[in-house]
């Protein structure tokens, strides 16, 4: 298990916007990484003189795959270097000044490959680690390009999950933050932080799956040969994914939504500009190749993903 003494300390800073350097530095979080040795892998190793079975250690840990942003207006992505990328054709100012007097909350959203950075030092200290399936700085979802699904809620507004009470909701501790479906930019939520969190959860739900009715690039891969990639994100499951706040303030720990009690005001998480960003961490398992053919693995620890 990795301890904080093995790493440089990344201080908590308050900021309304972030840049690539600060995102890279924020990835040095042992609590988010959650490195574990979870099993043993068996490989078939063959030479001209015969074959034998070799073993290697199987590890599991989280990786920051994406930076997911939720913000009010075009050009207000908290990740400053990605503002130009997030401007797409047909993007508009779908947020009126009177929004704070209504219960309907709308936000643009982006999911862009995490630049990694300081986490490499974390992982290099483990001896062996898994590689992320995402590419730094690559846009996997831009709501400005997903016009009909994100602005109009089509066709998901007609899905059963969209109008069935209690189905696919971000909720906990007696507090319901919002529904996952329709996975669009608008939802009924007067609390701005909670609204942004639900939007981020919707984006993660989309990009972690294939064949969704959205314009996006999926981060879902099957793995194989000693690599096990994350399962689709599911709200409320801390073994399946974690969120690390980057803006309006950078935190050194990870959590899932909801991340407080029913009476929590989340005042320290509120953004004056209504713009938010999180790093999405997801769990990977892998083992070092020690032969030409992967045979099987035995797990000592199996989380409920």
Worst-scoring range by mean pLDDT, 77-81, 190-194, 264-268?
A: 264-268
Rounded to an integer, the average pLDDT of 125-148 is 92
Q: State the average pLDDT for the chain.
A: 87
Q: pTM to 2 decimals?
A: 0.88
Query: Phi and psi (nearest 5°) for 178?
Result: 160, 170
Rounded to an integer, the average pLDDT of 168-176 is 89
* Residue 55 clears pLDDT 80, i.e. is over it: yes
Do the Cβ atoms of 283 and 32 come closer than 8 Å?
A: no
Q: Which residue has the tokens 């690039």?
A: 217
Report residue 153's pLDDT band, with 50, 70 and 90 as the boundaries. Answer: very high
Query: Phi and psi (nearest 5°) for 72?
Result: -75, -45
Q: State how far the alpha carbon of 81 is from the alpha carbons of 10, 17, 77, 78, 115, in Å.
A: 21, 10, 9, 9, 12
* Residue 104 clears pLDDT 50, i.e. is over it: yes
pLDDT at 102: 63
Rounded Cα gap, residues 202 and 178, in angstroms: 10
Do the Cβ atoms of 283 and 23 come closer than 8 Å?
A: no
State the CB neighbour count (10 A cutoff) for residue 81: 15
State the CB neighbour count (10 A cutoff) for residue 203: 29
pLDDT in tens, 227-262: 999 999 999 999 999 999 999 999 999 999 998 777
Do the Cβ atoms of 305 and 240 come closer than 8 Å?
A: yes
- Which of 42-46, 81-85, 115-119 ranks highest by mean pLDDT? 42-46
pLDDT at 90: 46
């Amino acid at each position: 298990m990795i301890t904080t003494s093995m790493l440089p300390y990344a201080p908590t800073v308050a900021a309304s916007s972030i840049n690539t350097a600060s995102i890279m530095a924020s990835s040095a979080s042992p609590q988010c990484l959650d490195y574990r040795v979870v099993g043993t892998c068996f490989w078939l190793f063959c030479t001209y003189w015969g074959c034998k079975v070799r073993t290697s250690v199987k590890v599991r840990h989280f990786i920051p795959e994406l930076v997911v942003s939720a913000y009010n207006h075009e050009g207000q992505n908290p990740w400053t270097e990605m503002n130009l990328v997030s401007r797409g054709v047909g993007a508009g100012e779908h947020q009126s000044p009177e929004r704070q007097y209504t219960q309907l909350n709308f936000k643009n959203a982006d999911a862009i490959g995490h630049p990694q950075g300081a986490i490499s030092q974390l992982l290099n200290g483990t001896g062996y680690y898994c590689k992320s399936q995402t590419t730094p700085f690559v846009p996997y979802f831009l709501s400005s390009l997903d016009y009909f699904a994100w602005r109009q809620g089509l066709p998901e507004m007609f899905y059963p999950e969209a109008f069935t009470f209690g189905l696919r909701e971000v909720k906990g501790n007696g507090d319901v933050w919002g529904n996952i479906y329709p996975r669009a930019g608008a939802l009924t939520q007067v609390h701005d932080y909670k609204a942004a969190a639900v939007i981020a959860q919707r984006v993660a739900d989309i990009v972690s799956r294939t064949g969704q009715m959205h314009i996006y690039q999926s981060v879902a891969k099957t793995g194989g040969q000693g690599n096990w990639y994350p399962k689709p994100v599911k709200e409320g499951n801390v073994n399946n994914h974690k969120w690390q706040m980057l803006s309006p303030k950078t935190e050194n720990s990870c959590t899932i939504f909801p991340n407080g009690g029913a009476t929590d005001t989340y005042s320290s998480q509120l953004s004056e500009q209504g713009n938010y960003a999180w790093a999405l961490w997801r769990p990977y398992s892998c083992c070092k190749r020690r032969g030409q053919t992967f045979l099987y693995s035995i797990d000592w620890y199996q989380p409920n993903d």
